[in-house]
Amino acid sequence: MKCNQMTLCLFFFIVFALSSVVISEDVHAIAAKTGEVDTQTSLNVRSGPSTSHEVVGWLTPGEQVEYTDNGDGWGELVDGSGYISLHYITNHDGEPVDRSSAKHDSVPPNNERIVLDPGHGGKDSGAVANGLMEKEIVLDIGKRTRDILENAGFTVLMTRDEDVFVSLEERTAMANDWGADQFISIHANGFSDPAANGVETYYFPGSAAGKHMAANVQNQLVENTDRTDRGIFEEAFYVIYHTAMPAILVETGFVSNADDASQLGDANYRQTVAEAIANSVIDG
């Protein structure tokens, strides 16, 4: 009788052990997901689950990937090569990855994410003339624009919010990794001919959405300032070429022109420019 009891106990122990292995394997199988990179350009692979970690590689549009969802808007690649933003990953069933717990998704579902990119910064002053530095002017305009948009319910990310140098690669990576809906780079012009003046806006060649954005902001600038309308133009600037969302670059005036410079140095003018940029987003 004792032998039968021991045999029965051993049997149940083996069954339990085998069940644990199966359950463990099922958990790992469920945790791993397969998806596809859904971007217009490359998707950064980073050493950790945030944009503060360095870029260690890239994935190409349409590339198949296997990953585990961290539940914070980031996924770890199963091959151990790094982490990716799940905003640009689509599951094989055609459904986007569930990113409801991502830290930047705690906003209304229809709320757009806007990246504001004050040009230059730190060691790069940009255009300098008439006692003005481009990097200072555009940072102030960027902050004012951010405040207006946030008050209107938009979620805003600035590529810099202080006088620091940020590379062009870092600027575009921030926008792509964050999954921005629009990218607006803010600049002030400078030219050897001091007579050159006015406002102008650039968009990526062939981008219908970019052209629409450029026309909107240019119209707002012209209507709300007394600056010369220089128009909108196609140009493959780095920051509007390497961003995966509609993007524009706004030139808010010439620091090299005495009249424009007097306006750019005025806080009231910078507020007007900020309102024009923000209204172009709000009005769509």
3-state secondary structure 20-68: HHHHHHHHHHHHEEEEEECCCCCEEEECCCCCCCCEEEEECCCCEEEEE
Q: What pLDDT sits at residue 11?
A: 54
Residue 139 contacts by C-beta under 8 Å, 6 or more apart in sequence?
A: 118, 121, 160, 161, 162, 163
Residue 178's nearest CA partner among 228, 243, 269, 259 is: 243
Q: Which domains does the chain have, with CATH numbers?
A: 31-103 (2.30.30.40), 113-283 (3.40.630.40)
**Structural contact between residues 244 and 192, judged by C-beta atoms closer than 8 angstroms:** no
* 150 carries an active-site annotation: no
Q: What is the pTM of this model?
A: 0.64
Rounded to an integer, what distance in angstroms lies between the CA atom of residue 47 and that of residue 181? 25
pLDDT tens sequence for the chain (284 residues): 444 555 555 555 554 554 544 444 443 444 688 888 876 445 778 888 876 667 677 777 788 899 998 877 788 999 999 998 887 788 754 444 443 333 333 333 346 899 999 999 999 999 999 999 999 999 999 999 999 999 888 999 999 999 999 999 999 999 999 999 999 999 999 999 999 999 999 999 999 999 999 999 999 999 999 999 999 999 999 999 999 999 999 999 999 999 999 999 999 999 999 999 999 999 87
C-alpha 43/C-alpha 81 separation (Å) is 13
CA distance 35 to 58: 15
Residue 101: predicted pLDDT:
35
Exactly one of 112, 235, 251, 275 is catalytic; name it. 251
